[in-house]
Chain A
Amino acid sequence: MIYAGATARRLALLRIALFGLWLIDLALDPIDEVAALPVAWFAPHGPYVLLPRAVLASLWDARVFLGLKLAALGSVVLALIGTARPRLCALLACALLTLVLGFVRGFGHADHSQLQLLFATYLLAFLPAWDALCVGAAAKPAADGRYAASFAALALVFGFPYLATAVYRLTHEGWAIFAGHTMQHFIARDTLMLDHFDFTLGLALLEQPALGPLLNAGFAGVTVAELAAPFVYLRPRWAAVWLAVMVPFHVIAPVIMHTLFAHNLVLLFVLYAWPLTWDAWDGGRRARV
């Protein structure tokens, strides 16, 4: 497994990376602005389903939304730096992040971006991620398999949604989904409909009929990689080949389909690419000693 070199410090660095990503994400997200939209437009998801409509209407104010964002930011900072009771801060951050993400999904389409990062953050709250690099008193780092097992648990939780996606695709459509015009249809529709990017490179690709089979082959290849996602950390070679498929996929998808999973790119780096370098790093250190 690629996590044999996991240590308390490395798990703590992962904690800092994940909460750091949330910090940037929240800081750049002006959720308070959406108070300009009518409350009647809001379709509750997750915890908001439990909130009576009248209560929601009474809370529909930019200051309330800003307060939610600032509370989430505060809890993320506390979990990141590891003050007293860091696990409690992490659980609070998880709850507030769920409220923020559930809120912004109430205005139309409930997308999946950020969700694998959210699941990894949920899990982090139950891992020994505060055994090093804490502002407060850290627990004494142990010299056993708990850190490697923690990385493996994170890889499982990150990889399982990919598996679920591929299983749905294969069980409901079979091979046919890779044989027809489906991929071209998705590229055309999403390039034109998802309007947060102002370019249409996907349509330029569709002007070249010879690329059709290549697009279908790429779709099938990514589906195989998605099926393998919860297992690839078990062997360094599997992880390297998997990264060679998934990183280009997540880079190309926004260019030709306007579908951006930026958080997953960061997770691919911290959960797979970075651990693949540990052997070389530790070997170099031993040689210097």
Chain B
Amino acid sequence: VNEPRPVGGYRAPSTRALAAACAALLCVSLAGIPSGLGGAAPAVVEIVLLLLGGALALRAGWQASSTSATSKPPLRAAAALLLLIGAGQVAHTKKAFPFMPYTMYGRAREGEAAFYEYQALHRSGARTRFRPGTVFATLGNGRIVKGLAQRLDRIAELEARGEPAAQDRALLREVCGALAARYNRAHAEDPLIAIDVVHVALPPPFRAGAARRRVVLTLPLESRP
């Protein structure tokens, strides 16, 4: 009863056919898409799976709730949004916010985990870990720390190629200065006077004691009012 009727000679695939196609593509993906199909094959399979999955989800929603004509507008609006979310996944750029690609924890990782730590030198001579992500509440969730890491990686790349990185260094210094100034407003009794940027590499099996640390940059801070 709920299967689609032919429109203009075209009969849309049945729910069972859509589900079978999804399951088959998922099995192929799980086994690993053969590299002989070319580098673009995973992205093509991803798009096809998203289209089939979205169509299947909409079909199921339609069948479960279309008891009257008034049920249709909400599902049509949902279909439009799914299309935009799917288009964002295909466009694969975060510039398309809010329709950004969903790639979280999506690539296999081998080898060491690398990141940056920030060691603060206080006026008293004390050394503590400085946490940029806690200075502005708005910029938690990795927003500022990943931004700083991207800039540090860029500086390292430029310098490795022998290209000037003075502009990036100056911007990094300005941002760290602003973060420290904000921190110092709340900790006037023992303010920060410098920040060491430390590159940390943690090899598998990721025991904290095995981390290798190397200071890559020292940022002296101006004393701000």
Contact = CB atoms under 8 A, between A and B. Distances in A.
Q: Do A and B bind each other?
A: yes
Interface string A153-180: 1111101110111011111111111001
Contacts of A264: none
A146 B98 contact: no
Nearest to B57: A230
Most A CB atoms within 10 A — which of B54, B77, B116, B134? B77
Contacts of A33: 136-138, 182
Nearest to B202: A188
A127 B107 CA distance: 37
A186 interface: yes
Nearest to B73: A126
Interface stretch (A53-61, A74-82, A194-202, A272-280): A194-202
Interface in A178-211: 180-182, 184-190, 192-196, 198, 200, 203, 206-207, 209
Contact of B57 (A110, A146, A159, A182): A159
A145 B66 contact: yes
B102 A189 contact: no
Interface residues of B, number: 90
Contact of B110 (A107, A164, A180, A194): A180
Interface string A9-47: 000000000000000000011110110111011011110
A123 B71 contact: no
Contacts, number: 300
Contacts of B45: 171
B117 interface: yes
B106 A168 contact: yes
A163 B57 contact: yes
Contacts of A160: 54, 57, 82, 85-86
Contact of A187 (B107, B110, B116, B206): B206
A60 B147 CA distance: 19
A142 interface: yes
Interface string B41-74: 0110110011001101110110011111011111
B66 to A, nearest CB: 7
A104 interface: yes
Contacts of A192: 113, 115, 117, 200, 202
B101 A31 contact: no
Given A174-B32, A184-B204, A193-B145, A164 B89 contact: yes
Contact of B30 (A46, A174, A196): A174
Interface in B194-212: 200, 202, 204-208
Interface stretch (B1-9, B156-164, B173-181): B173-181
Interface stretch (A84-92, A112-120, A240-248, A281-289): A112-120
B150 interface: yes
Nearest to A206: B206
Contacts of B42: 171-172
B46 A193 contact: no
B187 to A, nearest CB: 15
Contact of A46 (B68, B73, B95, B181): B95
B74 A186 contact: no
Given A123-B78, A142-B70, A145-B67, A186 B105 contact: yes
Contacts of A176: 32, 108
B219 interface: no
A37 B206 contact: no
Contacts of B108: 173, 176-177, 180, 182
Interface of B: 26, 29-33, 42-43, 45-46, 49-50, 53-54, 56-58, 60-61, 64-68, 70-75, 77-78, 81-82, 85-86, 89, 94-98, 100-110, 113-117, 131-134, 136-150, 171, 174-175, 178, 181-182, 200, 202, 204-208
Given A38-B175, A163-B57, 8 more contacts: A3-B65, A108-B148, A144-B68, A174-B32, A181-B109, A193-B142, A194-B141, A234-B60
